[in-house]
C-alpha cells in the first residue's frame, strides 16, 4: 500500500503551480493539472511520483470524469487562473465571463467534486489568490472581482467543511515573476522587472508552511509581498 500523501495542483505546467508541485513532490504523489499535456509531462519528468493530469477545467464533463478517479486526496492546490487587465470601459462581457469561469466557477466545481476524497483524507485546500483579492485597483476590475469571489468561496468552504476536518488556506501573493505577470505588465504598459517581484518558489514555500502546520494550527490566510516593493 502506498503510504505517501497525495496532491493535485492545477496550473502546474509553469509558474507558481509548477513551484508548488516541486515543493510537494518529496512527500506527496502529485497530479499535475493543466491543459498542455506535453508541458505537464516535462514537469513530471523531474518530480518522482508526479504525473500529468491534463484537463481543461472549463470542460465540466471532462473535469467530472477525471475527478471521479480520485478516491482520496490530501492536498488540493488551485493555482490555475487567467488575468485580462483593462479599464472597465474596455472589458467586454466575454472577458468577464471567461475570467469568472476560470478563476471561480472551475475552482468551485472541481472542489465540489473532490470533497468526498478530501473528507476521506481530512485534507487541505489551498487557493492561490492575489493581492487583488484584498484590494481592487484601477484596470483590474474583472480579475479583482474574481479574486474577491475566490476569497469568499474559501471563507465559506472553510466554515462548511471544518467539521469534516478539511482545512482551507487562501494565499495572497503580490507580483510574482511568472509568465502571467509578464503579460499583465504588457497590458498595463509597464516594464516586466522580475528582480523586483516574488519568486514562485517563495510562494510555494508559504503554501508548504500552511500544509505542514500542526493539527492545532489552522493557517487560514497568508499575505506575501515582494521585499523589493
| CATH number for position 149 | 3.40.50.720
Helix (H, G, I), strand (E, B) or coil at 126: strand
Helix (H, G, I), strand (E, B) or coil at 32: strand
How many domains are there within the chain? 1
**The pLDDT of residue 2:** 59
The answer to whether position 219 is within a domain reads yes
Catalytic residue annotation: 143
The answer to whether position 229 is within a domain reads no
What cell was used for 180? 502571467
Residues 96/143, Cβ–Cβ less than 8 Å: no
* Low pLDDT (below 70) residues in the chain: 1-2, 229
The answer to whether position 161 is within a domain reads yes
Q: Rounded to an integer, what distance in angstroms lies between the CA atom of residue 185 and that of residue 153?
A: 27
Strand-pair partners of 29: 6
**The pLDDT of residue 1:** 42
Nearest to 78 by CA among 57, 64, 98: 57
Provide the residue range defining the domain that includes 162.
5-224
> For the whole model, what pTM was predicted?
0.95
Nearest to 16 by CA among 213, 179, 135: 179
What cell was used for 62? 471532462
Strand-pair partners of 76: 8, 125
The answer to whether position 76 is within a domain reads yes
The answer to whether position 24 is within a domain reads yes
- At residue 52, φ and ψ (nearest 5 deg) are -70, 145
- Using the structure block, give the residue that is written with the C-alpha cell 503580490: 174
Amino acid at each position: 500500500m502506498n503510504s505517501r500523501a497525495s496532491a493535485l495542483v492545477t496550473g502546474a505546467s509553469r509558474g507558481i503551480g509548477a513551484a508548488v508541485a516541486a515543493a510537494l513532490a518529496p512527500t506527496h504523489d502529485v497530479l499535475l493539472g493543466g491543459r498542455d499535456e506535453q508541458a505537464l509531462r516535462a514537469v513530471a519528468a523531474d518530480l518522482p511520483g508526479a504525473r500529468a493530469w491534463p484537463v481543461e477545467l472549463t470542460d465540466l464533463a471532462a473535469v467530472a470524469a477525471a475527478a471521479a478517479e480520485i478516491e482520496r486526496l490530501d492536498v488540493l492546490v488551485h493555482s490555475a487562473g487567467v488575468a485580462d487587465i483593462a479599464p472597465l470601459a474596455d472589458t467586454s462581457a466575454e472577458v468577464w465571463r471567461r475570467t469568472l469561469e476560470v478563476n471561480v466557477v472551475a475552482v468551485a466545481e472541481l472542489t465540489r467534486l473532490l470533497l468526498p476524497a478530501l473528507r476521506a483524507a481530512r485534507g487541505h485546500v489551498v487557493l492561490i489568490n492575489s493581492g487583488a483579492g484584498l484590494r481592487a485597483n484601477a484596470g483590474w476590475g474583472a480579475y479583482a472581482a474574481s479574486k474577491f469571489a475566490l476569497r469568499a468561496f474559501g471563507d465559506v468552504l472553510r466554515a462548511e467543511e471544518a467539521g469534516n476536518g478539511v482545512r482551507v488556506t487562501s494565499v495572497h501573493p503580490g507580483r510574482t515573476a511568472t509568465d502571467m505577470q509578464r503579460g499583465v505588465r504588457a497590458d498595463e504598459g509597464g516594464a516586466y522587472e522580475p528582480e523586483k517581484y516574488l519568486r514562485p518558489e517563495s510562494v510555494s514555500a508559504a503554501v508548504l508552511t500552511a500544509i505542514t502546520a500542526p493539527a492545532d494550527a489552522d493557517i487560514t490566510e497568508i499575505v506575501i509581498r515582494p521585499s523589493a516593493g
